[in-house]
Amino acid sequence: MQQIQGVVENIVFQNEENGYAVAKIKDKSENITIVGCIPFITEGQNLKLIGEWVLHPQFGQQFKVSGCEEIVPNSIVGIERYLSSGIISGIGPVTAKKIVEKFGEQTLDILDNHIERLKEIEGIGAKKIALIDDSYSKQNEIRNIMVFLQTYGVTPNQCVKIHKRFGTESIKVVKENPYILTEEISGIGFKTSDKIARSLGIDAESPFRIQSGIRYIINQFCGLGNTYMPLEKLLKEGISILGVTKEKIEENIYDSSINGKLKLEKFEDKLCVFTIPYYYCELGVTKKILTLAVNDYGDMKINVDEEIESFENDNCIKFADSQKEAIRGAIENGVEIITGGPGTGKTTIINCITEIFEKLKLRVFMAAPTGRAAKRMTEATGREAKTIHRLLEMGVGDEEEPGMLFSKGENSPLECDVIIIDEASMIDIMLMNNLLKAVDISTRIIIVGDVDQLPSVGPGNVLRDLIESRCIKVVRLKEIFRQSTESMIVVNAHKINNGEMPLMNQKNKDFYFIKCEDVNKITDTLISLVDKRLPNFNKKWNKINDIQILSPMRKGILGVSNLNKKLQDILNPKAQNKKEKEFRDIVFRVGDKIMQTKNNYSLKWTRVSGEGEYEGVGIFNGDVGFIQDIDEDKDTVAVIFDDERKVIYDNMYLDEIDLAYAVTIHKSQGSEFPVVIIPMYMGAPLLMNRNLLYTAITRAKQLVVLVGELKAIKFMIDNDRSFERYSLLKHRIMDIMESEVNVVVSEDEVE
């Protein structure tokens, strides 16, 4: 290894995600090109670099960096240049010059030990000193973390997250337990943590290593929607990732179970491995739903049929028999599930049920899993609906108990008589458990959703499991309301759900297919539809707000990543007066439509319009917003979600947002758009299934346009297989019900 030293003159290229950079440094009188992982490199830094000389066939001799260390400047010129580089928030070239002129060679000592003396300089007040102090101390801490972790492929952005999570203890924590990074920091996998651990001398067969790997594998598997992992799958994956024997993995699984870190449960002669949270969530939902289902709620002392007839007369409608059954069931039972596709009158039923309960002076709460779904529920019913998180008064944990916490729960139940939950197909096992904890034993709960939609993004198959457990009153709505039969979107949704080809291109209807065989032509057609053809067809449709492309996949020419770049160029092009920020391989620009891609329970928001709390926490997977501003000084991006809530993103959280001119069908759950355009092309068979297409077209309110191959449509409709989800919720409920029946039978026999 060789060593060079020099001042960074120019940064040719810099990748913020992985720290890779190409730069020019001046070593004495010589200009040298350096390449490699050099986190937080900035012009003006004096660096000591370790590496080797390489000869690039195109660019000539370069110094390939394997390690770097910043040399704190000791000359007045060097100090001024260092401070002018912009590496410290609040100090630019003008302020740097003033500081150096005032304190000279003592400048860095002032910043380290006497920061309050900066107020001696005109224009620097208490607020600016606080900004400089915070930035300077963080920059030093983060640089130390980066120097420690840079050889392991940990990105600068992840280093910032590590610092935010563990603070000044970051390096100590990582040295004591490298595997904590896998559990606590998004984007860091087991292999990275394992590489650090192995370099620190942790043995490959150490129980500490194997048990951390086991938890990682199960968590990854549950991230696909499962609540447990079959033992045989865990063993197979463990051997592959950990490189140890099957016996070693089995031994550590059982040890983890004995130590209370995992739960083993037998089902149909096979062992299921649970992490503790999902195990207790399934138990919690099972216990509470059965308790509510068997509770005696007493006679409501109201003639339901008369109330139904009165509602019909007032609203000039006629309910179908199944719809009347749903209304009666809600009044007569403690728990009811109402499921049905589009146009089957679920919202009208909710309105009728609510009106009856309100006549009885009962307090009704309404909620849905997402902000958009709650907003639609409010618009459709004329009554306030909240997100489930807001209903439960979500807060943020602390270092002792990170993640989401709810004020409402077993010790502080929701103060109402009836809870109506819409879009229930999106509720995962953890959210359902938290919701049911907050439901008092005397409170009715009505669960409404379309069981044929895609299941929740999070673990579990809650709505389907509850329906198939047969412990709850379930009403399936199949008849389409008369006014809905005019919509081919509704008709075709039901056709697709029944395995039939949709009716397309009927004159003056709302469901069209444009045949296109070549992927590049499909792309051009999609862009033309969004940019010109559809806005010209209906002047009320806004290109960005009202027209949404939904694709089955992320990658490829017709995947959302490529489509977003092309659509951004057309719908929100680069302009001289339009601020933008490059992050990873995405350019974020003021005016861009973006989507939050994962739940973040700690992001703070402030309300800029609408009713409700002025501020709160939590932005969730699938929330859509628009970039309002990019602050180049503070390096932040301001986003307005649903025209109501403003969130300030710094670099640390920018990897949680993505452009949203095109989104995956999975990410569109719970949303509705006036116009939906879907590229139809052959992709991975597991993704090309019926309920994916069904979910996509049911997102549209006014128009659906399919563009691509007819055979892709037929393949998706014929393929009614969906991802198998591993969940024991249904079986837990059924086992308890069967055991109760057996007990009753035994007692009868004794008598």
Rounded CA-CA distance 25/6 in Å is 6
Q: What φ, ψ does residue 747 adopt, rounded to 5°?
A: -65, -40
Is 346 annotated to bind a ligand? Reply is yes
C-alpha 657/C-alpha 664 separation (Å) is 14
Task: For residue 631, report the phi and psi dihedrals to the nearest 5 degrees.
Answer: -95, 105
641: β partners: 625, 645
User: What is the C-alpha separation between 445 and 365, in angstroms, rounded?
Assistant: 10
Which has the closest alpha carbon to 385: 397, 368, 369?
368
Has 343 been labeled as part of a binding site? yes
Question: Rounded CA gap, 197 and 189, in Å?
Answer: 13
Q: Which of 616, 618, 588 is nearest to 600 (CA)?
A: 618
**Alpha-carbon span 87 to 136, nearest angstrom:** 8
Q: Report how far residue 446's alpha carbon sits from residue 420's, in angstroms, rounded to the nearest whole number.
A: 5
Taking the CA atoms of 620, 622, 625 and 626 in sequence, report the sign of the dihedral they define: positive
Q: In 481-627, which ranges are continuous DSSP H helix?
A: 488-497, 519-528, 534-537, 560-571
Q: Which residues pair with 62 in a beta bridge?
A: 54
Question: Is the four-CA dihedral 300, 470, 345, 483 of positive or negative sign?
Answer: negative
Q: 350 with 356: CB under 8 angstroms?
A: no
347 is in an annotated binding site: yes
DSSP 3-state assignment of 532?
helix
CB-based contact 242:249 (threshold 8 Å): yes
Give the CA radius of gyration of the chain. Answer: 30
42 is in an annotated binding site: no
Is 86 among the annotated ligand-binding positions?
no
Binding residues for ATP: 343-347
Binding residues: 343-347
